[in-house]
């Protein structure tokens, strides 16, 4: 609450100043201000806004990537690429819908997993009873600074059919799956334990975007779960730092006060730590959400969308359609739909996580 008050006060202070327009000194200051931000603005415009506009143009073309898209050699096809992607039944739409399903599950489990794990890690390395906290902070951050390519290759070996993970599982009598080649959805697997092997009629007959509801409800495949484990492990180090900063901002006096008032560890966590950490949690969820919708490099290295397209993601489709099939217009259209999905979801998530006034 204190923060809001300060911000309002400073806003009040600047307002009358902005009202008085002229004053040569001020104008000079403003010009200097623009001068100082100019490099950043130029870099943003040239490397961010201009390419976005160029890509938007490409997404309206049937462009094979072999000439300049602005030379007029490529046919202008209007919204055809978007129509093939979202409306017309065909391979592209079914691939895209599969990729959206895969990514929804990926995002769901990845964001939850990353937030929970990194919060737990932050709590652990922030606690006063842990010895060698600096050491643990460093090693928990290690996966984040290692190249994702190296980690992906490492996971490939760990999760082979006869790899380390399955050997360890066999010690406790579990016959592990062949992780990266198992296309079964985990929800389908769980349902089959309760005797639901095939799709109930209503679910298999109703389709959304050409994909039956039963297929939408498959859950992430075993292969996708491996991918989720990988990204949770690599990203939680970075998010742990965000949480750690938040935790260290919590005044010790408050914790002592609640302890004196007789609150237990869980009550302290639930009613003191968590409310004060709201901003950190919202930040981490936002970042994790955006990052996980764009998942590409792990898919590119580990699975290329297989098994049975259960690790296909929109970003990977965009790449394959562009460079594999020479359909750069389609690739750009996929990228823009992905962009829209991310923006909408981020807005929704900001709205849900907003600070409500008492």
Q: Is 269 in the site for another protein (CB under 8 A)?
A: no
**Residue with Cβ nearer another protein (144 or 199):** 199
Using the rule CB under 8 A, give the single segment among 61-69, 128-136, 206-214, 272-280 that binds another protein.
Answer: 61-69
Using the rule CB under 8 A, give the single segment among 36-44, 212-220, 246-254, 345-353 that binds another protein.
Answer: 36-44
Residue list 322-341, contact with another protein (CB under 8 A)? 323-327
Q: Is 164 in the site for another protein (CB under 8 A)?
A: no
Out of 10, 31, 33, 43, point to the residue binding another protein (CB under 8 A). 43
Q: Is 91 in the site for another protein (CB under 8 A)?
A: yes
Using the rule CB under 8 A, give the single segment among 41-49, 133-141, 231-239, 279-287 that binds another protein.
Answer: 41-49
Using the rule CB under 8 A, give the single segment among 11-19, 235-243, 271-279, 319-327 that binds another protein.
Answer: 319-327
Binding track over 176-215 against another protein, x by CB under 8 A = --x--x-x--------------------------------
Q: Is 321 in the site for another protein (CB under 8 A)?
A: yes
Out of 56, 64, 276, 279, point to the residue binding another protein (CB under 8 A). 64
Out of 59, 81, 85, 95, point to the residue binding another protein (CB under 8 A). 95
What tokens does 33 get? Answer: 């201000």
Out of 241, 309, 318, 342, point to the residue binding another protein (CB under 8 A). 309
CB of 280 to another protein, least distance (A): 29
**Residue with Cβ nearer another protein (182 or 230):** 182
Using the rule CB under 8 A, give the single segment among 91-99, 103-111, 250-258, 287-295 that binds another protein.
Answer: 91-99
> What whole-number distance in Å separates Cα of residue 102 and Cα of residue 94?
12
When computed from its CA atoms, the radius of gyration of the chain, rounded to whole angstroms, is 25
Residues that bind another protein (CB under 8 A): 36, 38-40, 42-43, 46-47, 64-70, 90-92, 95, 160-162, 178, 181, 183, 305-309, 320-321, 323-327
């Amino acid at each position: 609450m204190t923060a809001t008050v300060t911000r309002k006060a400073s806003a009040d202070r600047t307002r009358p100043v902005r009202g008085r327009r002229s004053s040569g000194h001020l104008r000079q200051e403003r010009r200097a201000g623009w001068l100082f931000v100019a490099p950043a603005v130029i870099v943003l415009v040239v490397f961010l806004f201009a390419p976005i506009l160029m890509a938007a143009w490409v997404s309206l073309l049937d462009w094979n990537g072999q000439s300049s898209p602005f030379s007029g050699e490529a046919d202008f096809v209007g919204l055809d690429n978007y129509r093939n992607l979202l409306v017309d039944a065909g391979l592209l739409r079914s691939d895209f819908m599969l990729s959206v399903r895969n990514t929804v599950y990926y995002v769901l489990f990845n964001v939850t997993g990353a937030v929970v794990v990194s919060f737990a890690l932050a709590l652990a390395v922030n606690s006063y009873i842990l010895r060698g906290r600096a050491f643990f902070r460093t090693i928990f951050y290690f996966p984040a600074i290692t190249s994702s390519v190296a980690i992906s290759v490492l996971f490939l070996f760990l999760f082979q059919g006869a790899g380390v993970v399955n050997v360890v599982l066999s010690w406790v009598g579990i016959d592990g799956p062949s992780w990266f080649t198992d296309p079964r959805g985990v929800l389908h697997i769980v349902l089959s334990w309760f005797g639901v092997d095939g799709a109930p009629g209503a679910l298999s007959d109703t389709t959304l975007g050409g994909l039956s509801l039963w297929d939408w409800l498959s859950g992430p495949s075993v292969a996708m779960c491996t991918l989720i484990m990988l990204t949770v492990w690599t990203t939680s180090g970075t998010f742990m730092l965000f949480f750690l900063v938040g935790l260290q901002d919590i005044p010790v006096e408050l914790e002592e006060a609640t302890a004196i008032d007789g609150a237990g560890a869980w009550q302290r966590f639930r009613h003191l730590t968590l409310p004060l950490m709201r901003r950190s949690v919202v930040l981490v969820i936002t970042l994790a959400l955006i990052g996980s919708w764009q998942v590409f490099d792990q898919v590119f290295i580990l699975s290329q969308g297989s098994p049975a397209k259960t690790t296909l993601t929109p970003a990977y489709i965009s790449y394959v359609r562009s460079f594999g099939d020479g359909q750069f217009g389609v690739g750009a259209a996929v990228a823009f739909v992905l962009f829209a999905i991310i923006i909408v979801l981020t807005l929704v998530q900001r709205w849900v996580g907003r600070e409500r006034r008492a």
